[in-house]
Structures are given as C-alpha cells and as structure tokens.
Amino acid sequence: MPTICHFEIPADDPPRCQKFYESLFGWKFEHQPQWDYYGITTGEPGKSVPGGMMKRQSPEHSVCNYIDVEDLEASAAKVKELGGQVVMERTAVPGMGWFVICLDTENNPFGLWHCDEKAK
C-alpha cells in the first residue's frame, strides 16, 4: 500500500523555522547547500518519516507530503482520472528518484515519489 515517505515544509525564514522545530520536537536538520535544502530527521531511521525544508517559493506554497508509489506515471494518470491535477510533471532528484506534484480534488498539494538511484 502506498504510504507517506517524506514531507516538506516551506519557510520564509529557514533558520527561524529550524529553531522552532528543533526546540519543539528535537528534530535534527542538515543543510544541503547545493540545493539550499534542509534534510530533517524526525526520529530513529526506519521508525519515523524523514522530511525537508526549503525557502518558500510563493505565498501559496504549503506543506507537502510525498507518497511512495510503484508506478509514477500510472499514479499520476489516476490522479487526473479521479479529478485531481498534476501541477509539476515528473522531475528527477539525481541519484535518488523521481517525483510529481499533484493537487487533490480540494486543492491540497501532495507529491508522488518513486525511488530510482539512476535518476538524472
């Protein structure tokens, strides 16, 4: 069954947001300067959902959960079939995998994710 495998938090002020979640939950952040992205560790590997944080891209940029799927294209097609939208087509995260950003029927964003170390 597809499940949430990652989440992303947009932030107007990433250092302020980092301090908030570190103080509130004890989450650990690792800045990845090549992408200006912060990896988030929320607990023990394998027992928690990892996340990320980045600079907010637009006023409507909101938290996004990523769901791990077997077939990215088939899942994106089903989103459209069920009345949702694909708002960002298949995009590579080099060496990690591929994602598609969608909106559900209520305009809530979510991502579809497929691991693929060969992604470029």
**61-99 confidence digits (pLDDT tens):** 999 999 999 999 999 999 999 999 999 999 999 999 999
What CATH number has the domain bearing residue 23?
3.10.180.10
| 74 plus 109 within the same structural domain | yes
| 13 plus 56 within the same structural domain | yes
Average pLDDT of the residues in 88-115:
97
Main-chain dihedrals φ then ψ at residue 33, nearest 5 degrees: -60, -25
> What span, in angstroms and rounded, lies between the C-alpha atoms of 97 and 82?
25
Indicate the number of domains in the chain.
Answer: 2
Main-chain dihedrals φ then ψ at residue 73, nearest 5 degrees: -65, -45
Find tokens 């087509």 and name the residue.
Answer: 89
What is the pTM assigned to this prediction?
Answer: 0.93
Which domain does 103 fall in, by range? 69-120
